[in-house]
Chain A
Amino acid sequence: MKIKLDPVTRLEGHMKIEVEVDSNKKVTAAKSTGNMFRGFENILKGRDPRDAVHLTQRICGLCPVSHGIASVKALEASRNFKPTGQARLLRNLIQGGNYIADHILHFYHLTLLDYIQGPNRSPWKTSYDTDMRFSQSASEEMFDHYLKALEIRRKAHEMVSLFGGKIPHVMSIMPGGVTKSPTASEISDYKRLLGEVRSFVDGQYHEDVQKLASVYKDYFQIGEGYRNFISFGVFELEGSSSPNLLYRSGRYTDGQYMSVEPRRITEDIKYTWYEGKERSELRDDNTSPSLNKANAYSWIKAPRYLDIPHEAGPLARAWINGDYRKGVSVMDRHVARMLETKKVANALSLWINELNAGGQEYDSALHAGYSTGEGIGVTEAPRGALVHYVRYKSQRIENYQVVTPTCWNVSPKDNNDRMGPLEKALIGVQIQDINNPIELMRIIHSYDPCTACAVHIMTPEGKIENKFIVSTPGL
């Protein structure tokens, strides 16, 4: 029997999940579909490389800062440029504020309604009450926190807007550093807001995740996936010449900790609505949409690292850094995301004290001179590993590639018929009520999919033979 969830709601973008269940209502097969194609390649190709920082932020309104940073890092790498320590601090303060806003949004507004029943009206009502375990008063209390969390995530975004001008789509992060010169009063506003946000994160958010984890303990055993992780590292620390990162890069594959190099990423298209080369490297992608392809079921390509599927996100970062290695499951993802929010909030409170008022942390030399070059920029979006690749000639983009975290997590099967991490995590799940497969929603949401991000950026051409520059040394 088949169960189709279309649309899967409470995530960014358009997604469909289809599973097959056996007579015992256990999932035996799963298909994850990205349901939107935007063709970003045509938007970027031929444009001025400096436009990419603005345009690529528009890939995703939830994690624009990470796209902006990956984009400037790719261009800076192509010029062998390193921003100042203060510029890196400012970027961290902007990106970190967005992490907090995004993680709070994910837990309270995208996830919680899988576990508690909200008020009986739109947008919170549902026609079912399957496996709702909290008492009415506990649900009410949690829902109060849902509302409080709306205010707190907005304040985290105000932190971002102090140094980014606005959010979504910040204005101050440019190749060359950060154009914003922070004032003393903005720094003190940031601290005040952070204080408030942090007390919510350390108190309420922590407590609510623990409460959820204790009532839904069984979800520590559900939704494991491959137990392989990938991260490119994020939050460069000030002062060091080769960046020291708050979250280092690396991978955990079949029980081994190893390093990563973006050039080893490949993307498969066997089950996607694309035709062309079956397997592409990051920089030589050459595919085009093909709607009538047999067996295809997604607009999302299947990124693999040395042939192997990996999970990206807060749990991957926590695992690779040794912050959290208790287990791999739906609930472990929520716990890791919460612990990360606390860690980032704490780091922000240290970084804001290191920031100098009135500093000019922008080198205008990077506003010109894009004659010929290519570069890779890596960072981590709140939901996982992010890579941008750019190649330009005579101030025009020739090739731009992006591999987003959701591509890693919700990819379809690859050329070897190996499922994507989310698909794998759905296999074997016991469903209580076929008409309301809440278990599937819980597993899907634990990955925090963002399918606008997952819409692959591709260019219908080109190989590069010359040197390949990576933004973060030591990868």
Chain B
Amino acid sequence: MKISRRDFIKWMTASATVLGMGKVQLEQATHVLANMDYTPVIWIQAAGCSGCTISFLNMVEKDSDGVPTVDKMLTEHIDLKYHSTLMAAAAKDAMEQANPEVQMIKNNYILIVEGAIPTAQEGIHCIIGEKNHQPWTALQAVRELAADAKHIIAIGTCAAFRGVAGAGSNSTAVRSVEEVLGSGYKSKIVNLPGCPVHPYIIGETIIKLIAGIPVTKDSKNRPLGLYSEKKLHDKVNDINNCPLKGLSKTSKLGVCGNCFDNMGCKGKDDETRSTCYTRYWGIDWNNRKGCFGTGNMCIGCSSSNFPFSKIYN
């Protein structure tokens, strides 16, 4: 069933009338909705900064790949059951939205985890909300929700590889999604590193999973194509991954169009598999240069080693 976004909104708002809609009517509306082809998504935020949520909001449209903007994603493709920053419901109401049993979506939903997961002291350093009169930790949430999820997206470098949350002495013992769930979950997990992950990468991955298009992954569960098979500094198929490679080397920031090899550029880190130079950080696809146009070097924000022990030489 396909209806236009505008029709959809009119219809939906009408069905959710603020004026005395009875329980029966509500159930009918819910039933109609259930027959529409929306993929349920539960999005849990653990120890992170919500930057990947902002990236999700920044999704840009690319018709040729069917990647939509966030408003279309929300109204036409996914049923975002739980997302603490975006959802209207709060408290108990919200917690029910994160319950696959109550929502009748077992084995049918995509679990998205943003942020790394504190595991010290049973995960008490990050509480999602109150469940059964107890604090429900991010650690519990990820474990419980993973079991019945159809797919799991670890969004951003924190969820994929611990990232900034796990740097230094890591006093709250944060772990990546894969570390928390164990190797049994490998096939379900898609890692989308990046700090934040590039908006387009989120869009394409969700659309592919919804459409049932297989996602081919590398050894670290990153989707190939969205992440390069070699590090940024290398050539792939004889083409430079990095647009600045081969240009004269500089020892100063602030000069755009030079190679930062001498300064500690993290494009040389073996796990910086980014393809950001082919993506755009602008909505009309104009701002193609991204970080490469800023006169600063790559800090390797998508590497499993990010944020490294030291960024600059």
> Using a CB–CB distance below 8 Å, which chain A residues touch chain B?
4-14, 16, 35-39, 42-48, 50-51, 54-55, 58-62, 64, 105, 109-110, 113, 117-129, 132, 134, 136, 139-140, 143-144, 147, 150-151, 153-155, 157-158, 161-162, 164-172, 174, 176-177, 179-181, 186, 189, 289, 291, 360-362, 364, 367, 441, 452
Contact = CB atoms under 8 A, between A and B. Distances in A.
Contacts of B262: none
Given A9-B85, A36-B125, A179-B295, A121 B57 contact: no
B130 interface: yes
Most chain-B Cβ atoms within 10 A of its Cβ — which of A59, A110, A171, A360? A171
B295 A7 contact: no
Interface in B274-313: 276, 281-284, 286-287, 289-296, 299, 301, 307, 309-312
B108 interface: no
Interface string B58-80: 10100000000111001100011
A58 B164 contact: yes
A115 B256 CA distance: 48
B265 to A, nearest CB: 12
Interface string B4-21: 010011101111111101
B83 A166 contact: no
Contacts of A144: 9
B295 A172 contact: yes
B176 interface: no
Given A10-B87, A61-B49, A165-B296, A129 B18 contact: yes
The 3 closest A-B pairs by CB, nearest first: A61-B51, A120-B16, A119-B12
Contacts of B170: 42
A125 B254 contact: no
B3 to A, nearest CB: 12
B224 interface: no
Most chain-B Cβ atoms within 10 A of its Cβ — which of A44, A45, A441, A452? A452
Nearest to B256: A181
Given A43-B168, A118-B16, A12 B50 contact: yes
A157 B130 CA distance: 34
Contact of B293 (A4, A118, A121, A165): A165
A5 B90 contact: yes
B127 A127 contact: no
Contacts of B286: 189
B307 A54 contact: yes
B10 to A, nearest CB: 7
A113 B88 contact: yes
B84 interface: yes
Interface stretch (B91-99, B177-185, B202-210, B235-243): B91-99
B281 A59 contact: no
Contacts of B294: 164-165, 170-172, 179-180
A64 B51 CA distance: 9
A169 B90 contact: no
A361 B33 CA distance: 55
B172 A122 contact: no
B195 A119 contact: no
A384 to B, nearest CB: 17
Given A7-B84, A123-B81, A150-B70, A171 B291 contact: yes
27 contacts: A7-B129, A9-B88, A12-B85, A14-B45, A14-B126, A16-B127, A42-B169, A50-B312, A51-B307, A51-B311, A54-B311, A58-B49, A61-B52, A113-B88, A117-B13, A117-B18, A118-B16, A119-B16, A120-B30, A123-B83, A136-B18, A139-B18, A140-B13, A147-B71, A167-B281, A170-B294, A180-B296
A168 B15 contact: no
B172 A37 contact: yes
Contacts of A50: 311-312
Contacts of A164: 294
Most chain-B Cβ atoms within 10 A of its Cβ — which of A64, A123, A167, A362? A123
Contacts of B13: 117-120, 136, 139-140, 143
